[in-house]
Amino acid sequence: MSEFTRFLRQARQKIDDLSHHRKIRKAIATYDSKVEEMKQTQFRNWEQARKNAQEIKNYVLNSLPQLLQKFEQNISARGVTVMWAETAAEARQYFLQIAREHRAKKIIKSKSMTTEEISFNEMCEQQGLEVWESDLGELIVQLAGEKPYHIVTPAMHKSTAEISQLFHEKLGSPLTDSAAELTMVARQHLRQAYITADIGVTGANFLLAEEGAVLLTENEGNGRLTMACPPVHVVIAGIEKIIPGLADLALFLPLLATSGTGQQITCYNSIIRGPRQQLETDGPKKMYVILLDNGRSQLYGDPHFREILRCIRCGACLNACPVFRLAGGHTYHTPYQGPLGSVLTPHLRGWAEWYHLPYASSLCAACSFVCPVHIELHRLLLENRWQAYRKGYVGLIWKVALKGWAFIFARRSRLDLVARPLRRWGGHFTWLVPAGKRKRIPALPRKSFKELWLKNEQ
Ligand code: SF4
């Protein structure tokens, strides 16, 4: 089945699934109220904060090669091995090299969408490596045999009762409706994994060029244990995660926490500058940073799409998107869902299978309105549609329809010619348009705006 057909089928199922609606509506309503409160209380001027973040990120993009070099130089000086992966396959290969060198069998991994992007877990399973997710949401979807539903809240689609049932079946814990008890079950299960793992894998929320450091921000403390307990720490991060330095965190940490989860600041923020140094008694003995390109350079070189590299993966655009809310995260079948995924995926994974994603949008621009780094996602979605059209991924019927539409709308006289009979008799043909279960096609008005205007003028 093609990805396009899969998307349509799954979207239709989810749209009719009322229990799915209830769970997502509840989760997003809680998120919305917290975010709005935080924008008002934490920032004197939210819009100004967004503009500042946009400017810093634009500076980063203008000096990306230099900042990445500076990061490599500074972090290498403290004993970290930096590896540059051009593709997802290369990143997987680098990791396998590291695993073989350290005779690793067991991996513990904190939440990282970059590892999802390179299909890290699948690779580990194929190679006979045991891999455990340490983030609670990620652990839930791992135990359920699913993929993350949302880039920030991977188990957003699961109710407490469903999680309790899952833990009961997979971890043998008693059934409960207490979220705190469920957290303790996961905690107990994971403690052993931290101690016995050979490698800890994390992503990076930011890479600090000036200090040569990796910044991890999280709410559970699992990221900190993942990178500190095992003897080897591997960071897998996209090259766009670079920012100039520590001082910029004063803006980016609250900005990310506000847009990501509606918090003032996330609970645990770790700055990692390398493996255990002389006279230090804890921390990993060896540390690697795999810097992933995987299509980002191409986006960087394209003036239309460069701005998507400003993204700080806060997930706000997903929560704001009416298509994501109805169709759900799994329908996209990609590591990045919602408007972000619909912009990125065709560039990262190829147009042939993913050309349809830019059409999974009403172009209402709610995503652009909430983006904390001012990415004009709706414009990029339109740009992607144009690219899909130019690359020939649009069917003949659509091509003819679009050409016809362009021809008619190019002249007012042509539009009048078509619109008059449509308004008079169009109502008889509404059955031709497939109507959704909850959608009625409205009757066309008898007079056009132009006709009303002329009449009023007279
Ligand atoms: S595109 Fe903007 S809103 Fe969406 S995840 Fe990235 S930073 Fe957040």
Q: Is 115 exposed, middle or buried (0-12, 13-18, 19+ CB in 10 A)?
A: buried
373 lines ligand 1 (CB under 6 A): yes
> pLDDT higher for 27 or 421?
27
Q: CA 120 to CA 66: how far, in whole Å? A: 29
Contacts 24+ apart (CB under 8 A), 117-121: 117/88, 117/238, 117/292, 117/294, 117/335, 117/336, 117/348, 118/88, 118/91, 118/92, 118/236, 118/292, 118/294, 119/88, 119/92, 120/92, 120/95, 120/201, 120/236
State the number of CA atoms in the 13 A half-sphere of 177 facing the CB. Answer: 0
State the distance from the centre of ligand 1 to the C-alpha of 262, rounded, in angstroms: 14
State the distance from the centre of ligand 1 to the C-alpha of 57, rounded, in angstroms: 13
Residue 287 has pLDDT above 60, yes or no: yes
- Mean pLDDT computed over 279-298: 95
Which atom of ligand 1 is least distant from the CA of 339? 4
Which atom of ligand 1 is least distant from the CA of 310? 7
291 lines ligand 1 (CB under 6 A): no
314 lines ligand 1 (CB under 6 A): yes
Residue 306 has pLDDT above 70, yes or no: yes
Helical pair 64-76 and 46-62, crossing angle rounded to 10 deg: 80
Strand order in the sheet with 242-243: 242-243, 206-208, 213-218, 268-272
Average of per-residue pLDDT values in the chain: 93
State the distance from the centre of ligand 1 to the C-alpha of 312, rounded, in angstroms: 6
Secondary structure of 339-404 in the HEC alphabet? HHHHHHHHHHHCHHHHCCHHHCCCCCCHHHHHCCCCCCHHHHHHHHHHHHHHCCCCCHHHHHHHHH
Q: How far is CA 219 from the centre of its chain?
A: 18
State the distance from the centre of ligand 1 to the C-alpha of 379, rounded, in angstroms: 14
Residue 97 has pLDDT above 60, yes or no: yes
| pLDDT, position 438 | 54
Give the position of tokens 């060029």. Answer: 209
Helical pair 396-409 and 412-425, crossing angle rounded to 10 deg: 110
> pLDDT higher for 419 or 141?
141
Cβ atoms 343, 358 nearer than 8 A: yes
pLDDT-derived band at 231, boundaries 50, 70, 90: very high
| pLDDT, position 434 | 60
pLDDT one-digit tens code per residue, 361-401: 999 999 999 999 999 999 999 999 999 999 988 888 888 98
State the distance from the centre of ligand 1 to the C-alpha of 314, rounded, in angstroms: 5
| pLDDT, position 1 | 86
- Mean pLDDT computed over 438-449: 72
Indicate the DSSP class of residue 106.
E
> pLDDT higher for 331 or 417?
331
pLDDT one-digit tens code per residue, 356-370: 999 999 999 999 999
Cβ atoms 282, 233 nearer than 8 A: no
| pLDDT, position 447 | 82
State the distance from the centre of ligand 1 to the C-alpha of 53, rounded, in angstroms: 12
371 lines ligand 1 (CB under 6 A): yes
99 lines ligand 1 (CB under 6 A): no
| pLDDT, position 424 | 77
State the distance from the centre of ligand 1 to the C-alpha of 307, rounded, in angstroms: 11
Buried b (16+ CB within 10 A) or exposed e, 33-56: eebeebbeebbeebeebbebbbeb
Residue 429 has pLDDT above 70, yes or no: no
pTM as predicted: 0.90
| pLDDT, position 433 | 63
Cβ atoms 83, 288 nearer than 8 A: yes
Mutate to test the pocket of ligand 1, among 150, 373, 380 (most ligand atoms within 8 A of CB): 373
Give the position of tokens 């930011």. Answer: 206
| pLDDT, position 425 | 75
| pLDDT, position 86 | 97
pLDDT-derived band at 120, boundaries 50, 70, 90: very high
The residue whose C-alpha atom lies closest to atom 2 belonging to ligand 1 is: 371
| pLDDT, position 444 | 75
pLDDT-derived band at 440, boundaries 50, 70, 90: low
Residue 437 has pLDDT above 60, yes or no: no
| pLDDT, position 435 | 55
The residue whose C-alpha atom lies closest to atom 4 belonging to ligand 1 is: 317
- Mean pLDDT computed over 285-307: 96
Q: CA 336 to CA 339: how far, in whole Å? A: 9
Mutate to test the pocket of ligand 1, among 299, 307, 371 (most ligand atoms within 8 A of CB): 371
Which atom of ligand 1 is least distant from the CA of 314? 8
309 lines ligand 1 (CB under 6 A): no
| pLDDT, position 252 | 97
As separate numbers, helices (DSSP H) first and strands (DSSP E) second, the chain gives 22, 10
Lowest mean pLDDT among 264-273, 319-328, 381-390, 443-452: 443-452
Handedness of CA 304, 66, 344, 20 (dihedral sign): negative
The residue whose C-alpha atom lies closest to atom 3 belonging to ligand 1 is: 371
- Mean pLDDT computed over 416-430: 77
Which atom of ligand 1 is least distant from the CA of 370? 3
